[in-house]
């Protein structure tokens, strides 16, 4: 993952670099570092852990220099410590890197043979020494060109040179990189978001391109070193302000914001006066589409799985779903009549982007369901359906998940109605139910006490299971993922009907098992599966909906009842208690809820 920043200015840059690094921490928070050019040499300061640690260092406070680069790291090669933190420097060159150099072992061997001494365990350090080596015979542009040619893998790079007091080089292959323009200063950043407090004038580098950033102008080059002209985009200059308000964590705030997420989505896509769906400028005719493939990673993949159930219910389209890291390497049979939908909060997830890129190269129809509309996935997809949930800071995706499934549900309804697969009356009923959803979510959010109480049992257990059938199965997977990533408790999401094919062997006395069983078509079957786990000693937390019908089962440990709605919409309501369960369980354990260990908000390496 990792975030990079570079500033070439006439004023000291270290404080501004630190501020931008704080914005980039969503990309990695193992360690951070900064390097500036001062008094004819490269000064480098690095520290383990968060940017706060780096900021506290008295060395940074006194750091001089008007040209500098900075980095936040998510470790790929080598432990997350200050030696492996970036920048990595030789006497002449300093580099920050996001990505992975796949041939670093071979390159290192070659460079050691040439007398270069390595200090870290990282793949990045080979780039420093390669440039240093190439500079012995080449000028800056040629040494960069030659170095990039030798590298296999992915990278976004920021590079400064001891002997070039007015120059930063940026280069990109695979990992995103943006250039920003300011008054008598210019910038380099992993994304426009990191540069937003400085500028809204941005140029995005394409794969293979590199650039030379001087104080007063920027030059761009294609892979072969030819100078190219690039467009300057003017993005919205509004800088979103976010704080936790009265909440202890961003995640808690983001969970509570979900009624607003849904209201925003409904306002954007539902024509309430005509009971219709607005999807403006949809670039294809409906008879050009006979199947849909939905692709994402992690929580976004769960959104795809959720959507599969809705698309199959509401449309006659064939529906496939795929995990992006699998899709990108499989022998896919691309079909002209398939709509490929890429689901991503950040819009920067490397595997999802690679899957999109593959579809673009095969001239497929591509549609992005994303939150960050300035992201790579949004920019490069043919059509974009924004989620409109506002910035999500917590690493665990919450409001973006609800936003994604809302948009996918609306898309399924729209395509179903265009294909005449849904009767007008049913379509209108479903739209009316959707309009009520934010209120139902608000009510579900108040079910706090019980969830807080049961979370201790999950914390004491060796592991837990989340079971559901049909529409509830993707939510079971999502609930298990949330608990794993926040509380570091082993949790498995499973289709309830699959338990007796193996996982039932895991159930032992006192094991907490969440069973999702709203009163839908699957209810009776799920209740039978629940009885099977209770009979083997499981402590079942049943999440169902309010109903006058009694639950015909004994020995249920705890029951949580959400509101009642049409069965398509239960998944939205069931998600809330599961998000809260993970939150309270991590809170009791005292873990870092917004930045769980080993993770990052945006996964920009494959
Ligand atoms: O930004 P994206 O939606 O593409 O991210 C995909 C996953 O990395 C993400 O959903 C991840 O699984 C979350 N941390 C889960 O809470």
Residue 277's φ and ψ, nearest 5 degrees, are -115, 130
Both ends of the chain: CA-CA distance in Å?
9
In tens, the pLDDT along 346-375 reads 999 999 999 999 999 999 999 999 999 989
pLDDT band at 317 (very low <50, low <70, confident <90, very high): very high
Omega cis (within 30) before 87: yes
CATH superfamily placement of domain 3-234: Aminohydrolase, N-terminal nucleophile (Ntn) domain (3.60.20.10)
Six-digit token string for 466: 């989340």
Contacts of 255 (CB under 8 A, 6+ apart): 398, 399, 445, 576, 579, 580, 583
Q: Whose CA is nearest to atom 16 of ligand 1?
A: 396
Six-digit token string for 278: 């607005």
In the chain, where the domains are located: 3-234, 250-444, 448-589
Which residue out of 26, 74, 349, 399 has the highest number of ligand 1 atoms within 8 Å of its CB and is therefore the one to mutate? Answer: 349
Q: Whose CA is nearest to atom 11 of ligand 1?
A: 298
pLDDT band at 58 (very low <50, low <70, confident <90, very high): confident
pTM across the whole model: 0.90
Task: State the angle between helix axes of 424-445 and 399-418 in degrees (0 to 180), rounded to the nearest 10.
Answer: 170
In tens, the pLDDT along 376-435 reads 999 999 999 999 999 999 999 999 999 999 999 999 999 999 999 999 999 999 999 999
- Asked whether residue 208 carries a pLDDT value surpassing 80, the answer given is yes
Question: Which ranges of 228-336 would DSSP assign to H, the alpha helix?
Answer: 250-256, 258-269, 298-314, 324-327
Rounded to the nearest angstrom, the distance between the alpha carbon of 534 and the centre of ligand 1 is 33
Ligand 1 atom showing the smallest separation from residue 404 Cα: 3
Ligand 1 atom showing the smallest separation from residue 397 Cα: 16
Q: What is the helix (H) or strand (E) element at residue 291, kind and residue range?
A: strand 291-296
Rounded to the nearest angstrom, the distance between the alpha carbon of 12 and the centre of ligand 1 is 36
Ligand 1 atom showing the smallest separation from residue 482 Cα: 16
pLDDT band at 194 (very low <50, low <70, confident <90, very high): confident
3-state helix, strand, coil in the chain (%, to 5): 40, 25, 35
Q: Which contacts qualify for 328-331: CB closer than 8 Å, 24 or more apart?
A: 328/354, 328/355, 328/358, 328/606
Closest CA to 143 of 154, 130, 134: 134
How far out from the chain centre does Cα 399 lie?
12
Task: State the angle between helix axes of 570-589 and 473-487 in degrees (0 to 180), rounded to the nearest 10.
Answer: 20
DSSP string, 40-105: TEEEEEEEES-HHHHHH-HHHHT---SEEEEEEE--SSS-SSTTTSSPEE-SSEEEEEEEEETTHH
**Domain 448-589 CATH (choose: 2.60.120.200, 3.40.50.10490, 3.30.450.20, 3.10.450.750):** 3.40.50.10490
Rounded to the nearest angstrom, the distance between the alpha carbon of 392 and the centre of ligand 1 is 11
Q: How far apart are alpha carbons 232 and 224 in whole angstroms?
A: 22
User: Average pLDDT for residues 236-256, to the nearest whole number?
Assistant: 86
Q: Whose CA is nearest to atom 12 of ligand 1?
A: 298
Q: How far apart are alpha carbons 513 and 319 in whole angstroms?
A: 30
Are both 250-444 and 448-589 of the same fold? yes
User: Average pLDDT for residues 245-271, to the nearest whole number?
Assistant: 96
Which residue out of 191, 254, 297 has the highest number of ligand 1 atoms within 8 Å of its CB and is therefore the one to mutate? Answer: 297
Q: What Cα–Cα distance (Å) separates residue 376 from each residue in 284, 444, 469?
A: 22, 35, 35
DSSP conformational letter for 247? -
Half-sphere exposure of 281 (CA within 13 A, CB side): 5
CB atoms within 10 A of CB 509: 8
Six-digit token string for 474: 């993707």
Contacts of 210 (CB under 8 A, 6+ apart): 144, 145, 148, 169, 170, 171, 172, 220, 221
Q: Whose CA is nearest to atom 14 of ligand 1?
A: 396
CA quadruple 365, 367, 373, 378: dihedral sign: negative
- Asked whether residue 345 carries a pLDDT value surpassing 80, the answer given is yes
Residues with CB under 6 A from ligand 1: 297-300, 344-346, 349, 352, 395-397, 481, 485, 602-603
In tens, the pLDDT along 116-164 reads 999 999 999 999 999 999 999 999 999 999 999 999 999 999 999 999 9
Ligand 1 atom showing the smallest separation from residue 396 Cα: 16
CB atoms within 10 A of CB 567: 19
In tens, the pLDDT along 432-488 reads 999 999 999 999 999 988 899 999 999 999 999 999 999 999 999 999 999 999 999
Q: Give catalytic residues, as residue numbers.
A: 2, 601
Q: Whose CA is nearest to atom 10 of ligand 1?
A: 299
Q: Whose CA is nearest to atom 4 of ligand 1?
A: 344
Residue 500's φ and ψ, nearest 5 degrees, are -75, 0
Rounded to the nearest angstrom, the distance between the alpha carbon of 49 and the centre of ligand 1 is 22
User: Which of 26-30, 286-290, 452-456 shows the lowest per-residue confidence on average (mean pLDDT)?
Assistant: 26-30
State the pLDDT at residue 468.
Answer: 98
- Classify strands 168-173 and 512-516 as parallel, antiparallel or unpaired: unpaired
pLDDT band at 549 (very low <50, low <70, confident <90, very high): confident
Rounded to the nearest angstrom, the distance between the alpha carbon of 20 and the centre of ligand 1 is 22
Rounded to the nearest angstrom, the distance between the alpha carbon of 266 and the centre of ligand 1 is 23
Rounded to the nearest angstrom, the distance between the alpha carbon of 446 and the centre of ligand 1 is 26
Q: How far apart are alpha carbons 415 and 291 in whole angstroms?
A: 11
Six-digit token string for 159: 């590079």
User: Which of 57-61, 187-191, 429-433, 529-533 shows the lowest per-residue confidence on average (mean pLDDT)?
Assistant: 57-61
- Asked whether residue 552 carries a pLDDT value surpassing 90, the answer given is no
Q: What Cα–Cα distance (Å) separates residue 548 from each residue in 457, 529, 543, 551, 564?
A: 29, 22, 15, 9, 11
Give the CA angle between residues 442, 447, 452 to the nearest 5°. 135
- The CATH class of the 250-444 domain is alpha beta
Q: How far apart are alpha carbons 465 and 463 in whole angstroms?
A: 7
Mean pLDDT of the chain: 95
- Asked whether residue 240 carries a pLDDT value surpassing 80, the answer given is no
């Amino acid at each position: 993952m990792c975030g990079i920043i570079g500033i070439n200015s006439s004023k000291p840059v270290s404080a501004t670099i630190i501020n931008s690094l704080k914005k980039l921490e969503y990309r990695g928070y193992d360690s951070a570092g900064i390097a500036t050019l001062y008094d004819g040499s490269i000064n480098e300061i690095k520290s383990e852990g968060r940017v706060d640690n780096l900021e506290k260092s008295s060395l940074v406070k006194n750091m001089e220099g008007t040209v500098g680069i900075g980095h936040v790291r998510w470790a790929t090669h080598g432990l997350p410590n200050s030696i492996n933190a970036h920048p990595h420097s030789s006497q002449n060159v300093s580099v920050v890197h996001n990505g992975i150099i796949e041939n670093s072992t071979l390159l290192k061997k070659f460079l050691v043979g040439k007398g270069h001494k390595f200090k870290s365990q990282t793949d990045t350090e080979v780039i420093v020494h390669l440039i240093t080596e190439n500079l012995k015979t080449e000028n800056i542009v040629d040494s960069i060109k030659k170095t990039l040619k030798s590298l296999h893998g992915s990278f976004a790079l920021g590079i400064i040179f001891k002997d070039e007091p007015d120059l930063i080089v940026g280069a990109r292959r695979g990992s995103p990189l943006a250039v920003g323009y300011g008054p008598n200063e210019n910038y380099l950043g992993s994304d426009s978001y990191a540069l937003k407090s400085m500028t809204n004038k941005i140029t995005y580098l394409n794969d293979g391109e590199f650039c030379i950033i001087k104080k007063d102008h920027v030059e761009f080059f294609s892979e072969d070193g030819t100078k190219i002209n690039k467009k300057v985009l003017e993005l919205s200059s509004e800088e979103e302000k976010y704080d936790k308000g009265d909440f202890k964590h961003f995640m808690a705030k983001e969970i509570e914001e979900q009624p607003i997420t849904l209201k925003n989505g409904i306002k954007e896509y539902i024509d309430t006066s005509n009971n219709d769906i607005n999807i403006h400028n949809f670039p294809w005719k409906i008879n050009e589409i006979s199947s849909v493939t939905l692709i994402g990673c992690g929580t976004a993949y769960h959104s795809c799985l959720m959507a599969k159930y809705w698309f199959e219910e509401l449309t006659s389209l064939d529906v496939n779903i795929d995990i992006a890291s699998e899709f990108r390497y499989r022998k896919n049979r691309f079909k002209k009549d398939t709509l490929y939908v890429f689901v991503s909060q950040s819009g920067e997830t490397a595997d999802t982007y690679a899957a999109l890129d593959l579809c673009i190269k095969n001239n497929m129809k591509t549609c992005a369901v994303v939150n960050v509309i300035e992201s790579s996935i949004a920019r490069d997809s043919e059509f974009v359906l924004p989620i409109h949930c506002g910035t999500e800071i917590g690493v665990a995706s919450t409001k973006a998940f609800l936003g994604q499934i809302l948009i996918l549900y609306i898309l399924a309804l729209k395509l179903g109605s265009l294909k005449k697969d849904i009767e007008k009356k049913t379509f209108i009923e479903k739209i009316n139910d959707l309009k009520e959803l934010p209120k139902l979510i608000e009510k579900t959010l108040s079910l706090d006490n019980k969830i807080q109480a049961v979370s201790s049992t999950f914390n004491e257990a060796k592991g837990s299971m989340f079971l559901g059938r049909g529409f509830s199965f993707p939510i079971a997977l999502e609930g298990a993922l949330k608990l794993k990533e926040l509380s570091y408790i082993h949790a498995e999401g499973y289709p309830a009907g699959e338990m007796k094919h193996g996982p039932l062997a895991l159930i032992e006395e006192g094991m907490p098992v969440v069973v999702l069983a709203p009163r839908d078509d699957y209810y009776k079957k799920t209740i039978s599966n629940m009885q099977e786990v209770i009979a083997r000693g499981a402590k079942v937390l049943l999440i169902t909906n309010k109903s006058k019908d009694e639950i015909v089962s004994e020995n249920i440990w705890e029951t949580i009842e959400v509101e009642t709605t049409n069965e398509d919409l239960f998944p939205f309501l069931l998600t809330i208690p599961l998000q809260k369960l993970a939150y309270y369980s991590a809170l009791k354990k005292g873990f870092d809820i917004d930045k769980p260990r080993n993770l990052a908000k945006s996964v920009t390496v494959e």
